[in-house]
Amino acid sequence: MINITTLIPAIFLYVLPTLVGRAIIKDLYKRSLSYPFISYFATGISTLYIFTLLLNFILRFIFPDVSFSTFLPAIILSFTVVGIILNLIQNVNDIHLRNYILPFIFSIVLAFLIYNLWQFNSPYPFNWDIYEHQTLVNTILNDRFSFIASNVTDTFGFNGYPTILHTLIASSQIFFNTPIFDYWNSISYIHFTFIVLASYLFAKEITGNRTISIISGLLSALIFDSNNSFTTLFFIPQTFTAMIFMFLFIQLISEIKKNRLPSLNIIAIGTFSLLLNHYIIGTLASIFYIGTYLYYRYNALIISYININKRLALEIGLFVGLLTVIFSPSISLGFLNNGEAQTFTASLSDKAEAMKQIYGFLLVLFVPIGVSAVLRRKNEIEIFILILMSGFLTIILLQLPYMAKFYVLARIFVHFFAAIGIYTIFKFFKNSKLLYINSYIFLVLTLIGIFVTNASNWKGFLHYHDILTQVSPLEIEAADFLKEKYGNGNTLLVSDPATAHILEPFSSINTQGGAYMNTNTRGILDEISKTTNTKEVAQKLYSINDAVNPTNGKRLLALSGRYFVWQNSSKKNKYALSYDVWYPKDLTFEDEKIIQQFKEDETHFKLIYQNPAIAIFEVSK
């Protein structure tokens, strides 16, 4: 549930770094900077994280007995107090809230309405990744901290980013006892608001046209990229990085329009924060960000060169783009991330189908109109934006793993051109107020129709009783029981990957890898399904361990409805990182028969909890 108390920790995640960053860099510059808040935020998150890393490193040598979980609250509290005091004593000539109020209210209201439409009949967030991120946050809060995520918890086998976002989340959760789902719903809503605001401001800075900006904001709110990128509704490192990129880019464009550029320091801190938040998305974002800066810094030289060879440059660009798209399938990278990458390698027709599900025919109808309007207008910045969008789309069309994830960066550009396309038609009848108002109404209704059909498809397999969900209330109840009895103790929970993934962050009990359990554990679970010898099963369970946080304590075996579905799946699926039982499942008669076998061996299996979804045993060797 989102309410003011659950929003406070979510807002704190953004406010604290902004205060810290502002205290550091505000008075370093003689002149004002457009959208200074993004620079403050970038500075603040980088400073907080680096400081925490350094202090952790130093204290481990000087005070090895002092736990990280003790001094983390002290760091956060110190930064908060110092940040507030320093900001209070600085003058406020950089705060021009009046310019932002209406767009902010527009974004807050729109995001609130659409977020609730998305969560309609669904009590829990749909972001499957929150479980692993919360597990990492819990581990940080429980005294295990490192730059490298896989050194903190074995839930992270692939290090696509360091632990900066998790440190921020830990900072915002540490003083507030917000229920986990409420926190994630609130932070997702705040993130959504910022994405909508960014889309509005992006269009406003480039065109100065309020109608195009509003349409861009509407598109951002009502189009959910439900395949790979998840820009608006999922708060995860890639979307957080994209949000930072959007505001950095808006700042850059705003400065360019004022015939000036941000200083190199501002560019550097922005780039650093992008790379620090996501290696892959951050790298591409940085390339486009720095590329834009360099283009405008050396604009005269570049323009003079392209003016001479404009046609050749365009032909070379198109030719290279086409070749890379055509020949990319021959580059085999499916082995990445233990083979998970293969699942994220989509063909051109897959990508087209995904876009159709997300947009209907909206893109194919309105983006060309927008592009053609921009080419006719010959506005230099708009044409540059078009070149950037083409660059993004070429990369996305490559048939290599994870390329579709880059849409998280391209989206704002694509929506910009769609908004111009829509506005181009609007213009023809804007003299008639009646038709103009009706056109907005019909546009919103169409976008709602596209959004709801997309959401229906995406959530179609998640019907559970009378709600739509990835987890059941019964599983959460089981996790609450486990937390009370075994939480943060020396215990290892064993179950199928999905059940482990869900129970770990809520119960604070360690599992081997959560949804990303290793092949050894998968093999043992597969063997367990083939034997009725419960003594043998008990011994096998004690051979499973977490390599990052080993435990020699008790083993708990969770037999959930999901567990039995997973056990009945093919061997190929059991060993696949990309296969999980993503939907909740209660226990059936067939499942109960197997549970009965474990109940009959009281020597090795003591039933400690059962509800209609899950039976949990404490295992003795």
Partner 1 sequence: MEQNTQRITLKIKNTITRFLKNLVYFIIFLFLLVASLYGATTPQNKPIKAIGTMQIAPFKDGISIYQGHTGEYYVFSPFNDYAINEDQTRSSYISTQELTDNKFKSTFKEFHLIEIKKTIEGYLGTINPSINFRTQKNIKYSTNINKNRLTINTDISFPDNNSVPRILGSTISYQGTDFIFDTKGNLYNYLSDNDISSFKNIYKIHLASSLDELRIHIPDGKIIIVNPHMTGVIVIRSQKGQNLWVNRNFRLIEVEKMITPKDDRYTTTLHVEVYKNLEEAQKTL
Cβ nearer to partner 1, comparing 454 with 567: 454
Tokens, residue 176: 């507030």
Q: Tokens 């951050």: give the residue.
A: 282
With CB under 8 A as the contact rule, the residue among 27, 527, 536, 590 that binds partner 1 is 590
490 lies in the site for partner 1, by CB under 8 A: no
Binder of partner 1 out of 311, 376, 572, 593 (CB under 8 A): 593
Query: At closest approach, how far in Å is the CB of 588 from partner 1?
Result: 5
Rounded Cα–Cα distance for residues 375 and 385 (Å): 11
Per-residue contact string for residues 560-579; x = within reach of partner 1 by CB under 8 A: -x---x--------------
* Residue 219 near residue 413 (C-beta atoms within 8 A): no
Helix (H, G, I), strand (E, B) or coil at 535: helix
Q: Contact with partner 1 (CB under 8 A): which of 32, 446, 490, 543?
A: 446
Nearer to partner 1, 432 or 519 (CB): 432
Contact (CB, 8 A) for 188 and 127: yes
592 is a contact residue toward partner 1 (CB under 8 A): yes
If binding is defined by CB under 8 A, does position 465 make contact with partner 1? yes
Give first-to-last CA distance, the chain, whole Å.
43
Which residue lies nearer to partner 1 by CB, 450 or 528? 450
Give the nearer residue to partner 1 in terms of CB position, either 513 or 561.
561
Largest CA distance in the chain: 85
Q: Which stretch binds partner 1 (CB under 8 A): 151-159, 167-175, 464-472, 494-502?
A: 464-472
Can you tell me which residue has the tokens 């890639």?
A: 238
CA 378 vs CA 374, 375, 554: distances in Å? 6, 5, 70
- Report the residue number, 80 or 424, with the smaller CB distance to partner 1: 424
CA dihedral 468, 471, 477, 479 (to 10 degrees): -170
Considering the rule CB under 8 A, would residue 261 count as an interface residue with partner 1? Answer: no
- If one asks whether residue 429 binds partner 1 (CB under 8 A), the answer comes out as yes
What's the CA gap between 585 and 452, in Å, rounded?
25
User: Considering beta carbons, is residue 100 or 112 the nearer one to partner 1?
Assistant: 112
Cβ proximity to partner 1: between 324 and 424 the closer is 424
Coil, helix or strand at residue 139: helix
**Residue 17: CB atoms within 10 Å:** 25
585 binds partner 1 per the rule CB under 8 A? yes
Stretch that binds partner 1, among 177-185, 296-304, 328-336, 429-437 (CB under 8 A): 429-437
Distance CA 557, CA 605 (A): 9
Under the binding rule (CB under 8 A), the answer on residue 426 touching partner 1 is yes
Helices in 430-558 by DSSP H: which ranges? 433-459, 473-486, 497-507, 519-529, 534-541
Answer whether 363's CB lies under 8 Å from 410's CB: no
Q: Minimum CB separation from partner 1 for residue 445, in Å? A: 8
Spatial distance between the Cα atoms of 410 and 416, rounded to a whole number of angstroms? 10
Nearer to partner 1, 249 or 417 (CB): 417
- Distance between CA 523 and CA 526 in Å, rounded? 5
Interface characters, 345-374, with partner 1 (x: CB under 8 A) = -----------xx-xxxx-xxx--------
Decide: is 116 part of the binding site for partner 1 (CB under 8 A): no
DSSP 173-213: HTT----HHHHHHHHHHHHHHHHHHHHHHHHHHHH--HHHH
Q: Which is nearer to partner 1, 5 or 446 (CB)?
A: 446
Is there binding between residue 61 and partner 1 (CB under 8 A)? no
456 binds partner 1 (CB under 8 A): yes
Q: Which residue has the tokens 């809230």?
A: 97
Q: Which of residues 505-544 bind partner 1 (CB under 8 A)?
A: none
Neighbours of 317 (CB within 10 A): 14
Give the footprint of partner 1 on this chain (CB under 8 A): 120-121, 356-357, 359-362, 364-366, 425-426, 428-429, 431-432, 435, 438-439, 442-443, 446, 448-450, 452-457, 460-461, 463-467, 561, 565, 583, 585-590, 592-593, 596, 612
